[in-house]
């Protein structure tokens, strides 16, 4: 199913539909927009027909200076069976030839009162958000001190229980069990909850609880950028875990790598506090304060001083 259709941008941006109503269900497949300047001059060899076309004051003023024959031909060429929409900005008058061509090819013509540049900016942001690559991951997403922490691990390891404790400590739940993730930029992952389970937590023995009802609107949020992954796993006595924090693993989601920390689970470990501190330490590292590196450097200095004394 197409993620965005022409009728979606009509509703979102309150556009006035002028003609070509039969084409409002056309899919929009790219967030790139086109302002057909060279096309108005007659060069259609590389016309990006699959994009939403924006006609502003410059394009429409140029069209009016063309001969009737050239005007008819070029406006007709604008309307193809691939073109999802043509938007005229600044509430300008729409050429009669464009309306006729749009009706023949069922290309929706819309009008907006916004300036061309401003509409292009808003429309691009909207389409990039809607058309961004998406995936879903089994886990819990919590906003901890402004850091989006994705908690993963095998079923039954305690992800939801840990999230409940974090919410009790004043942090905010984004999604439980299934996290829908979209890549909005090359290094930006945004997580949301499926609408069906939004604000809900499943706690074994209790069942489904509504976090917003229990803890208030301040305990939840609709979306959050993901910066850190905490992977919970049952303690394995034969496995060596990182005790200094110098090693840094990565988790790749779509095309973006995020920092991954593996936290072993065993009785007596307060996972909520550990994850809370991990989020704070991650913030410190981004600010340039790395406790593990500082300790390593101090240890190296002590070893070096000891060697000098032996000499």
Q: Would the annotation count 260 as a binding residue?
A: no
Q: What is the pTM of this model?
A: 0.75
Do 36 and 49 share a domain, yes or no? yes
Q: What are the φ and ψ backbone dihedral angles of 274, each rounded to 5 degrees?
A: -60, -45
Of the candidates 97, 131, 165, which is a domain's last residue?
A: 131
In a domain, 60, yes or no: yes
105 three-class SS: helix
| Tokens (6 digits) for 157 | 């390891």
Measured between alpha carbons, how far is 161 from 140 in angstroms, rounded to an integer? 10
Strand partners, 180: 136, 192
Please count the structural domains in the chain: 2
Of the candidates 131, 147, 179, which is a domain's last residue?
A: 131
Strand partners, 182: 134, 190
Do 19 and 119 share a domain, yes or no? yes
Between 281 and 291, the more confident residue is 281
In a domain, 303, yes or no: no
Q: Would the annotation count 69 as a binding residue?
A: no
In a domain, 302, yes or no: no
Do 116 and 207 share a domain, yes or no? no
Do 27 and 100 share a domain, yes or no? yes
Do 21 and 74 share a domain, yes or no? yes
Find the CATH number of the domain harbouring 108.
3.40.1390.20
Do 123 and 139 share a domain, yes or no? no
In a domain, 1, yes or no: no
Q: Would the annotation count 205 as a binding residue?
A: no
Strand partners, 200: 210
Do 76 and 212 share a domain, yes or no? no
99 three-class SS: helix
Do 104 and 55 share a domain, yes or no? yes
Average pLDDT over residues 213-228: 95
Question: Above 80 in pLDDT, residue 306?
Answer: no
Do 122 and 152 share a domain, yes or no? no
Q: What is the DSSP string of 65-90?
A: TS-HHHHHHHHHHH--SS---EEE-T
Which pLDDT score, from 0 to 100, does residue 307 have?
64
Measured between alpha carbons, how far is 78 from 86 in angstroms, rounded to an integer? 9
Which pLDDT score, from 0 to 100, does residue 308 have?
61
Do 173 and 250 share a domain, yes or no? yes
Find the CATH number of the domain harbouring 264.
3.40.50.300
Positive or negative torsion for Cα 181, 184, 187, 192: negative
In a domain, 300, yes or no: no
Strand partners, 143: 148, 172
Is the CB of residue 85 less than 8 Å from the CB of residue 9?
A: yes
Q: Would the annotation count 20 as a binding residue?
A: no
Do 12 and 124 share a domain, yes or no? yes
Tens digit of each residue's pLDDT (9 = 90 or more) over 221-253: 999 999 999 999 988 877 777 766 667 789 999
* Domain housing 120: 6-131
Is the CB of residue 148 less than 8 Å from the CB of residue 225?
A: yes
Strands 52-55 and 140-144, bridge-based pairing: unpaired
Measured between alpha carbons, how far is 94 from 114 in angstroms, rounded to an integer? 15
In a domain, 188, yes or no: yes
Do 95 and 20 share a domain, yes or no? yes
Average pLDDT over residues 145-154: 94
Question: Above 60 in pLDDT, residue 1?
Answer: no
Residues whose CB falls within 8 Å of the CB of residue 85, separated by 6 or more in sequence, listed in order: 6, 9, 23, 26, 28, 52, 53, 107, 108, 109, 110
Of the candidates 103, 131, 159, which is a domain's last residue?
A: 131
In a domain, 304, yes or no: no
Q: Would the annotation count 23 as a binding residue?
A: no
| Tokens (6 digits) for 65 | 């200076």
Residues tagged active-site: 138, 159, 177, 243
Is the CB of residue 86 less than 8 Å from the CB of residue 55?
A: yes
Question: Above 70 in pLDDT, residue 154?
Answer: yes
Closest CA to 116 of 3, 13, 218, 253: 13
Q: Would the annotation count 268 as a binding residue?
A: no
């Amino acid at each position: 199913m197409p993620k965005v259709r022409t009728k979606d941008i009509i509703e979102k941006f309150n556009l006035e539909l002028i003609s070509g109503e039969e084409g409002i269900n056309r899919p929009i497949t790219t967030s790139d927009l086109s302002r057909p300047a060279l096309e108005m001059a007659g060069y259609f060899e590389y016309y990006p027909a699959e994009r939403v076309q924006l006609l502003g004051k410059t394009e429409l003023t140029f069209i009016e200076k063309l001969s009737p024959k050239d005007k008819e031909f070029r406006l007709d060429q604008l309307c193809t069976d691939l073109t999802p929409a043509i938007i005229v900005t600044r509430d300008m008058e729409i050429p009669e030839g464009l309306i006729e061509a749009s009706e023949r090819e069922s290309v929706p013509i819309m009008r907006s009162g916004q300036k061309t540049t401003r509409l292009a900016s808003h429309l691009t942001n909207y389409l990039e958000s809607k058309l961004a690559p998406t995936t879903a991951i089994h886990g819990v997403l919590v906003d901890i001190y402004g850091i989006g922490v994705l908690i993963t691990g095998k079923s039954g390891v305690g992800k939801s229980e840990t999230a409940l404790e974090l919410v009790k400590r004043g942090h905010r739940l984004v999604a439980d069990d299934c996290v829908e993730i979209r890549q909005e930029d090359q290094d930006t992952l945004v997580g949301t909850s499926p609408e069906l389970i939004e604000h809900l937590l499943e706690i074994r023995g209790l069942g489904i609880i509504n976090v917003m009802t229990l803890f208030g609107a301040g305990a939840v949020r609709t979306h959050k950028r993901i910066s850190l992954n905490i992977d919970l796993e049952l303690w394995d006595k034969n496995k060596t875990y990182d005790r200094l924090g110098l090693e840094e693993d990565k988790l790749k989601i779509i095309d973006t790598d995020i920092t991954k920390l593996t936290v072993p689970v065993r009785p007596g470990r307060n996972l909520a506090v550990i994850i809370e501190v991990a989020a704070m330490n991650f913030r410190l590292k981004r600010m340039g304060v790395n406790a593990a590196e500082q300790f390593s450097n101090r240890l190296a200095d002590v070893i070096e001083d000891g060697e000098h004394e032996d000499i």
